[in-house]
Amino acid sequence: MYKPFKLPDDFLMGSATAATQIEGGDRNNTWYDWCEKGKILDGSSCLRANDHWNRVEEDVGLIRQLNHRAYRLGLEWSRIEPNNGQFDFSAISHYRNEIEMLIQNGVKPLVTLHHFSSPLWLRDEGEFENEKAVGYFERYTRYVVENLGDLVSEYITINEPNVYVANGYFFGDWPPGQKNLGLALKVFKNMTLCHIASYRAIHEVRKKMGFKGITMVGVANHLRIFDPYSRNPLDLLAAKVMEHMFQGAIVKSMTTGRLRFPIGFGAPMGKGRFFDFIGINYYSRSAVRFKGFKDDVMPNTQRNDLGWEIYPKGLYDLCKKAYKMFKAPIWITENGTCDQEDAFRSDYIYQHLLELSKLSEEGIPVQRYYHWTLMDNFEWVEGESARFGLIHVDYETQKRTIRKSGELYGQICLHNGVTQEMIDNYL
């Protein structure tokens, strides 16, 4: 079943996290407010999370211990700019110290500017429903890059804008809890403009200040495979429509500046090429039914603890399609699975990296893989109950314990591939 394989020598592997999910202690963001309203399924709160804010040195040590050569970290906007136009130098200094620690340990940082969480002052102004958010986001971007740009050359402007909009403005399960298609489309448009403004600002500031390193900026796009549930032509039609509405329109709008239906029309900030890599967050496949326009799961397939289908081939297909469309390096900015017992995570990692090795053999420039996630964390509306970590976290004591899958992935990172010895010991 398993066979050894090699990944390119310059292929960088590591892990990804988000500030709100691991830091703890911040009462000034939209997710803390959501927790206080009792919206989290298991009753937990991001106020506790992993206490990473106070355990940076320990966690960087674990990253190094696991041989990760790349790490994607999020910044908490509400810490850096606690009030509109008022920046907290101690917060940006905290992140600077963490990034310096990563670099000293041979780990390349990739910084995410917005990962589902916003300052409460921005919420009070309508968040991304308000076009003023574009100027605010650009100002925040400039402050970050002016203060971190000598250390960090690689950035993600926005994480999964489609998931943010779907859950916050269509289903209403996430803040701000809206179920309003008109607002959803307005937010899609303004987030597109935020990305473009941020993309330009990052390049401009790093060039103006003479910071070294190649500037690389992109979006972490949540991409799924949308397949028809059956051979019924109506299911096929529904799958194509859902794919465009959920991911096609927003990805094309953000990368080119030309708004796609139903987000809008024209190019409010001009057309261009607003990406240096294509970031792909990949987890699963959707089986689409025309009846009820339903997003389902294929029968008789392997699923994770949240009921998501495990479909490694989808990662291969999405990367191939993305490269054909955009002709840019591919970075897997998230890929992982919810597996509380660590029963199938090792196999999951093996199967998905095997698909990436096939792409490399075909000359598709897949350059990075950031596993989601380094350690169990506050998994948004699921709370602490959904465990995606290579490292187990006991939230009562904050004790970190490396899982067997974490050990395997650490060996894969060290050797840039899978050996027979790894197969014998871990798979």
Contacts of 58 by beta carbon, 8 Å cutoff, 6+ apart: 400
Q: What does each C-alpha distance from 24 to 50, 71, 91, 115, 326 come to in angstroms?
A: 6, 19, 14, 15, 38
Q: At what angle do helices 132-148 and 89-104 cross, to 10 degrees?
A: 50
Give the per-residue pLDDT at 287: 98
| Catalytic member of 129, 334, 355, 379 | 334
CA geometry: angle at 49 spanning 334 and 117, to 5°?
60
Q: Is the pLDDT of residue 256 over 90?
A: yes
- In this prediction, residue 294 has a pLDDT band, given cuts at 50, 70 and 90, of confident
Band of pLDDT at residue 240, cut at 50, 70 and 90: very high
* Per-residue pLDDT band at 125 (split at 50, 70, 90): very high
Distance CA 318, CA 67 (A): 27
User: Is 23 noted as a catalytic residue in this protein?
Assistant: no
What percent of the chain is predicted at pLDDT more than 90? 99
The answer to whether 334 is a known catalytic residue is yes
Q: What is the pLDDT of residues 369-410, one digit of tens each?
A: 999 999 999 999 999 999 999 999 999 999 999 999 999 999
Tokens representing residue 348 in the block:
């999951």
3-state SS of the chain? CCCCEECCCCCEEEEECCHHHHCCCCCCEHHHHHHHCCCCCCCCCCCCCCCHHHCHHHHHHHHHHCCCCEEEEECCHHHHCCECCECCHHHHHHHHHHHHHHHHCCCEEEEEEECCCCEHHHHHCCHHHCCHHHHHHHHHHHHHHHHHCCCCCEEEEEECHHHHHHHHHHCCCCCCCCCCHHHHHHHHHHHHHHHHHHHHHHHHHHHHCCCCCCCEEEEEEECCEEEECCCCHHHHHHHHHHHHHHHHHHHHHHHHCCCCCCCCCCCCCCCCCCCCCEEEEECCEEEEECHHHEEECCCCCCECCCCCECCCHHHHHHHHHHHHHHCCCEEEEEECCCCCCCCCHHHHHHHHHHHHHHHHHCCCCEEEEEEECCECCCCHHHCCCCCCCCEEEECCCCEEEECHHHHHHHHHHHHCEECHHHHHHHC
- Single out the catalytic residue among 127, 160, 379, 384: 160
Percent of all residues in the chain with a pLDDT value above 70, rounded to a whole number:
100
Half-sphere exposure (Cβ direction) of 146: Cα atoms closer than 13 Å:
10
Mean pLDDT for 207-225 is 99
**What confidence tier does 292 reach under pLDDT thresholds 50, 70, 90?**
confident
Residues 302-349: tens digit of each pLDDT:
999 999 999 999 999 999 999 999 999 999 999 999 999 999 999 999
Read off the tokens for 127: 């968040």
Q: Please, which residues have CB within 8 angstroms of residue 205's CB and are 6 or more apart in sequence? A: 142, 145, 146, 149
Q: For the chain, which residues make up each domain, given as ranges?
A: 7-220+253-282+302-402
pLDDT in tens, 47-94: 999 999 999 999 999 999 999 999 999 999 999 999 999 999 999 999
What is the per-residue pLDDT for 358?
98
pLDDT in tens, 12-24: 999 999 999 999 9
Torsion angle, CA of 14/16/17/19, rounded to 10 degrees?
A: 100
- What kind of fold does domain 7-220+253-282+302-402 have according to CATH? TIM Barrel (3.20.20)
- Provide the pLDDT confidence category of residue 9 given band limits of 50, 70 and 90: very high
Question: What does the alpha-carbon distance between residue 159 and residue 164 come to, in Å, rounded to a whole number?
Answer: 8
